[in-house]
């Protein structure tokens, strides 16, 4: 099988060639030296290692001069997750616009494009500008856009490049009016496609009733600057006590989106319906495809039933985790045909102190790892002499800014300077604490590095 030039060795199959501008910008990024101010890279002089030089040298993770704590990505898990999600979407007849806010990494987003992604989702105009700076040709802003400066910039970008596609949400006539007024003053040269966002009680943005959604759709269609392109929503904020109740509310919410899309599509041509975080994307797929689509290839999603393209926006699947998503993802619920994901993120931290029997203080904390969905999970240890240590009865019980409290069996042999590998409980709030992340193979050799632009 062909391999993309510069791709880590674990990723062999290329399905989509990357756009030339993305390839060029990523090549420049791979050659950029890592600054000594980056966490984990220690007191290196300017002109230090780049992703390209590290990939060529393939140093051992714990012999390459990194400092701790250190966040890494496991290549085998990363590549497997990319393959599993691409294959699932192909079988299910849905497109994928993975949420780029999870990692804010152009390298990782490019790998998703190479695996057939329809585009990349973002949450803010700033995130959209970041991905656009790396040449990404299709970006879905899964949020309302009422920032006049942001709209003005987007209009200029659309006018400058006819090949660039951007979408955003609307959920009120007032939001429609802001877009229309700015785009009238600053023409983009074409209509901006917008999606009517559907919300739910106690949720975030989005129309609470279908009547509100239809009014917003009419307002958008009446402008000369906007094109009504679909219906969108987010089911991940739905919670109803028991898992069964939550799943039924998610189904109902998605049926509402699909019904509204069917109602609006006849008058507006090509149409999108999109939802899907990383917890309930199996339910979303079943409901948004309305019980039947033509299976897709990995690179060419069909328009599905009635000319409507269903698009998932799952993002956390790429790194998965040892905590939250490990317990709520479709495969954990026994969902038929659900893709199996593996945790790809690990945080390595040194033991700083053993001040009490049964307690080790690690040099990592809330500045280094997510804790909003649960504390990190101790996976294994590496002692200074190269041996391991039994962590089967250990538990992380507390995080300070720079310290982690690891409770141990009092007889556990773990000393200052030893290393502990922690699994992540939520990737979305771990990536944002790092700007350069080594990628490591199964032999603990560093094969690449990715950048995160938060």
Query: Torsion-angle region of residue 427: left (phi > 0), alpha (psi -120 to 50) or beta?
Result: alpha
Q: Which CATH number belongs to the domain containing residue 153 in this structure? A: 3.20.20.10
Distance between CA 45 and CA 2 in Å, rounded?
Answer: 37
Distances in Å between the Cα of 100 and the Cα atoms of 63, 107, 123, 153, 400 are: 32, 11, 8, 20, 28
Same domain? For 358 and 243 the reply is: no
**Are residue 370 and residue 285 in the same domain, yes or no?**
no
Check whether residue 281 and residue 419 sit in a common domain: no
Residues 413 and 271 in one domain: no
How many domains in the chain?
A: 2
Same domain, 266 and 165: yes
Tell me the pLDDT of the chain (454 aa) as tens digits.
233 333 444 444 447 899 999 999 999 999 999 988 899 987 654 457 899 999 999 999 999 999 999 999 999 999 999 999 999 999 999 999 999 999 999 999 999 999 999 999 999 999 999 999 999 999 999 999 999 999 999 999 999 999 999 999 999 999 999 999 999 999 999 999 999 999 998 889 999 999 999 999 999 999 999 999 999 999 988 887 788 899 999 999 999 999 999 999 877 778 999 998 888 999 999 999 974 443 444 444 445 556 899 999 999 999 999 998 988 889 988 888 899 999 999 999 999 999 999 999 999 999 999 999 999 999 999 999 888 888 988 999 999 999 999 999 888 989 999 999 999 999 999 999 999 999 999 999 999 999 999 9
Are 311 and 393 part of one and the same domain?
Answer: no
For residue 436, being part of any structural domain is answered with no
Tell me: do 378 and 410 sit in the same domain.
yes
Which residues span the domain enclosing 166? 77-321
Looking at the whole model, is its pTM more than 0.85?
Answer: yes
Cβ–Cβ < 8 Å for 301, 89: yes
Domain assignment present for residue 64? The answer is no
Which residues pair with residue 95 across a beta bridge? Answer: 311
* Among 382, 390, 368, residue whose Cα is nearest residue 68: 368
Task: Say whether both 288 and 374 belong to one domain.
Answer: no
> Does one domain contain both 383 and 250?
no
Q: Same domain for 137 and 244? A: yes
Domain check: are 206 and 291 in the same one? yes
Residue 276 forms part of a structural domain: yes
Q: Would you give the DSSP letter of residue 333?
A: G
């Amino acid at each position: 099988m062909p391999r993309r030039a510069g791709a880590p060795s674990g990723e062999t199959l290329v399905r989509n060639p990357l756009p030339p501008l993305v390839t060029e910008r990523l090549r420049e990024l791979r050659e950029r030296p890592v600054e000594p101010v980056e966490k984990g890279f220690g007191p290196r002089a300017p002109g230090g290692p780049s992703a390209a030089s590290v990939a060529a040298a393939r140093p051992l993770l714990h012999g390459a001069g990194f400092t701790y704590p250190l966040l890494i990505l496991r290549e085998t898990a990363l590549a497997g997750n990319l393959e599993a999600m691409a294959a699932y979407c192909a079988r299910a007849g849905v497109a994928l616009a993975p949420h780029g806010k999870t990692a804010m990494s152009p390298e990782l987003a490019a790998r998703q494009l190479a695996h057939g992604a329809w585009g990349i989702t973002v949450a803010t105009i700033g995130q959209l500008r970041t991905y656009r700076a790396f040449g990404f040709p299709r970006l879905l802003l899964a949020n309302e856009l009422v920032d006049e400066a942001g709209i003005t910039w987007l209009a200029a970008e659309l006018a400058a490049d006819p090949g660039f596609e951007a979408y955003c949400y609307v959920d009120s006539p007032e939001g429609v009016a802001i877009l229309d007024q700015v785009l009238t003053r600053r023409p983009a040269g074409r209509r901006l496609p917008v999606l009517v966002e559907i919300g739910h009680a106690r949720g975030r943005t989005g129309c609470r009733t279908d009547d509100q959604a239809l009014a917003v759709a009419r307002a958008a269609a009446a402008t000369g600057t906007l094109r009504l392109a679909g219906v969108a929503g987010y089911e991940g904020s739905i919670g109803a006590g028991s898992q069964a109740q939550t799943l039924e509310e998610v189904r109902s919410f998605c049926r509402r989106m699909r019904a509204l899309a069917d109602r609006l599509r006849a008058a507006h041509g090509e149409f999108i319906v999109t939802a899907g975080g990383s917890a309930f994307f199996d339910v979303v797929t079943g409901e948004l495809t309305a019980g039947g689509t033509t299976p897709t290839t990995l690179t060419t999603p069909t328009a599905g039933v009635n000319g409507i393209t269903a698009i998932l926006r799952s993002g956390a699947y790429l790194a998965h985790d040892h905590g939250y998503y490990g317990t709520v993802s479709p495969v954990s619920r026994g969902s038929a045909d659900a893709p199996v994901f593996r945790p790809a993120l690990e945080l390595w931290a040194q033991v700083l102190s053993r001040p009490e029997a049964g307690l080790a203080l690690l040099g990592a904390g809330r500045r280094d790892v997510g804790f909003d969905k649960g504390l990190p999970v101790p996976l294994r240890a590496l002692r200074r002499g190269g041996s391991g240590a039994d962590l089967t009865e250990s538990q992380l019980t507390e995080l300070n800014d720079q310290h982690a409290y690891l409770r141990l069996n009092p007889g556990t042999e773990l000393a200052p300077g030893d290393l502990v590998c922690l699994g992540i409980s939520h990737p979305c709030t771990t990536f944002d604490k790092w700007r350069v992340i080594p990628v490591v193979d199964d032999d603990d050799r560093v094969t690449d590095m990715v950048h995160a632009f938060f």
